[in-house]
């Protein structure tokens, strides 16, 4: 069976990624995706359900935040078999740990519409620091678009750490990509 589930470890996450923008994320235009490798082949997926609490004030970054909750059971790997497998204890263990969470602790302006969102990523009961670089721009409708990518090491969170721990079989690194679309600030 080709296991496409390990990937989510991050998106997880993760998670889940904090995005810069304004309140009121346009969920239908936004996404949290991830890419992992299994036996050298890219495996891609997304999460169907997540929530974001974003407050972005460029003039007051100390009071800005980007917090995310991702329903791990909502993973979409385009395979029912892989989605069932990733929910099991060896991977996400969604019965015990249904949500991955990212809570920002600071947002730093890097200039030129680029930001760095630092915070804590909690996945499968394990918490680690995470830093998410974000580029902020606008789409044709005037919405703010925050995009970024970061790498999560799945084994740091005990994702697939038993039978699938060999990084030559399932890569340890999972790339999480986020795209948040926020309506114009009034």
Range list of β-strands (E), the chain: 31-38, 41-47, 50-55, 65-71, 75-76, 99-111, 114-123, 126-138, 144-153, 173-182
Q: What is the pLDDT of residue 56?
A: 84
Is residue 151 in some structural domain? yes
Give the pLDDT score at 186: 61
CATH number at residue 155: 2.40.128.110
Q: Is residue 65 part of a domain?
A: yes
Measured distance CA(33)–CA(52) in Å, rounded? 15
Domain span including residue 47: 8-182
How high is the pLDDT of residue 7? 32
In a domain, 51, yes or no: yes
Assess if residue 2 is contained within a domain. Answer: no
Residue 3 lies in a domain: no
Would you tell me how many other CB atoms lie within 10 Å of the CB of residue 98?
15
pLDDT by position in tens, the chain (length 186):
333 333 333 232 333 333 333 357 898 999 999 999 999 999 999 999 999 998 888 889 999 999 999 999 999 999 999 999 999 999 999 999 999 999 999 999 999 999 999 999 999 999 999 999 999 999 999 999 999 999 999 999 999 988 889 999 999 999 999 999 988 766
Whether residue 162 lies inside any domain: the answer is: yes
Decide if 1 is inside a domain.
no
Q: Which DSSP category does 140 fall into?
A: T
Counting the structural domains of the chain, the total is 1
């Amino acid at each position: 069976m080709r296991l496409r589930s390990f990937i989510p470890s991050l998106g997880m996450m993760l998670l889940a990624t904090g995005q810069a923008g304004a309140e009121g994320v346009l969920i239908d235009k936004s996404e949290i995706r991830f890419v992992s490798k299994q036996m050298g082949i890219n495996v891609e997926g997304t999460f169907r359900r997540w929530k974001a609490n974003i407050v972005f004030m460029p003039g007051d970054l100390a009071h800005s935040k980007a917090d995310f909750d991702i329903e791990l059971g909502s993973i979409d790997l385009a395979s029912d078999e892989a989605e069932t497998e990733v929910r099991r204890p060896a991977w996400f263990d969604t019965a015990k740990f249904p949500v991955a969470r990212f809570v920002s602790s600071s947002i730093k302006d890097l200039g030129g519409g680029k930001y760095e969102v630092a915070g804590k990523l909690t996945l499968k009961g394990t918490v680690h620091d995470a830093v998410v670089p974000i580029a902020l721009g606008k789409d044709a409708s005037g919405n703010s678009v925050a995009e970024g990518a970061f790498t999560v090491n799945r084994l740091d969170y005990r994702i697939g750490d038993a039978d699938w721990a060999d990084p030559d079989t399932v890569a340890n690194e999972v790339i999480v990509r986020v795209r948040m679309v926020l309506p114009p600030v009034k």
